[in-house]
Amino acid sequence: MGNPMKAGETGELGAGRIPFDRIPIVDIGPMFGSDRAAMGRTAQRLREVCQSIGFCYVVNHGVARERIERALKQCKQFFALPLAVKMACDIALQGGHRGYVPLGALTAGPDAELPDLQEGYEVRLELPADDPDYLGGSKIYGPNLWPENLPGFREDVYAYFESILGLGHVLFRTFALALGLPDDFFEDKIDKPMAQLRLIYYPPQERVIDPNTIGVGTHTDYECFTILWQGAPGLQVRTPQGDWIEAPPIADSFVVNMGDMIQRWTNDQFISTPHRVINTTGLARYSLPFFFGANYDTVVEPLPCCVGPENPPRYPPTKCGIWTETMHTLAYVYRWPDRGKLPDPEMR
């Protein structure tokens, strides 16, 4: 998958086309076994990636290709529906931050002048209608909003969600090892996670690319980390030196990148790296990013293993749920009325 790239070539908006090894490939296969030495080496490799660029491709991840293909098929079928049909699942219809996000309803880049050029469909942890958080008015927890008359959509998409959720737990165990913590350190903080799968359709951009009108504007992800399947080139990553490089698909891999919460948790040891998406293919582009967040009531503060006399905490304790909702009010048009009305997520 993806186009071969040669060192020195220049991509869209000045992104360098350079060899894949600038964004490392990490084999996480050992994390599914019992060889502790091999698991330790994998964790150390992932730590190096998290501390240097915050992006990598992961392979031997355990997610069946058929499960990906079935979710992608449903993704394409949904976005091919008439707008009126899709709007029956509009994200603004119910609480829980689930459903269809139409074109013009999302601005991921905080400094963007225009909305992102994408449509999305949000799926979160499936919870019953009597979930106490949902009954209490939560805008994060609750049942998903599923389209009617689209056979297999719910089953195939949520099966994919569950597979990536499982992979996310494996990655959290790997991060724990990388930080010298017990394998299960994060588990009680992610047993009701603010996990979000977004199905994304990027329409073709067949004219000269306007830097103010791209698939996703420059941003960092505000959850702990992201697990991305992508079907075509378009993802671009900003290096610590300020250069843009392309991160095209590699067969049988996911892109994993750090988010703001894990950067805070590790006191800046792990890097939440700015990135953007520009659909340069001239065709429709689809992707399946999964944003793994901690439980709503988790309070994130720099871990003791990441602070010291010469490296004091750089962030105050932060309430994950309010942080996430605050980011939603900045990015999603339907949440704009809530801007400035939420409590400060930082416990100063």
Reported as a single tens digit per residue, the pLDDT across 118-135 is 999 999 999 999 999 999
In a domain, 54, yes or no: yes
Is pLDDT above 90 for 113?
A: no
Is pLDDT above 80 for 77?
A: yes
Reported as a single tens digit per residue, the pLDDT across 329-348 is 999 999 999 999 999 999 98
Q: Is the pTM of this model over 0.75?
A: yes
pLDDT band (50, 70, 90) for residue 112: low
The reported pLDDT for the residue numbered 208 is 65
The reported pLDDT for the residue numbered 211 is 72
Whole-number percent of the chain with pLDDT over 70: 92
Pairing of strands 275-277, 216-219: antiparallel
In a domain, 21, yes or no: no
Distance between CA atoms of residues 98 and 141, nearest Å: 9
- Give the CB-side neighbour count of residue 39, counting CA atoms within 13 A: 18
In a domain, 7, yes or no: no
**Domain ranges, residue 160:** 26-338
Reported as a single tens digit per residue, the pLDDT across 259-305 is 999 999 999 999 999 999 999 888 999 999 999 999 999 999 999 99
DSSP state of 308: B
Strands (E) in the chain, as ranges, are: 9-10, 16-17, 25-27, 55-59, 99-101, 119-124, 196-202, 216-219, 225-230, 235-238, 244-246, 254-258, 275-277, 285-292, 299-300, 318-319
In a domain, 6, yes or no: no
Distance from the first to the final alpha carbon of the chain: 47
In a domain, 122, yes or no: yes
In a domain, 13, yes or no: no
Overall domain count for the chain: 1
CATH number, domain containing residue 315: 2.60.120.330
Reported as a single tens digit per residue, the pLDDT across 35-51 is 999 999 999 999 999 99
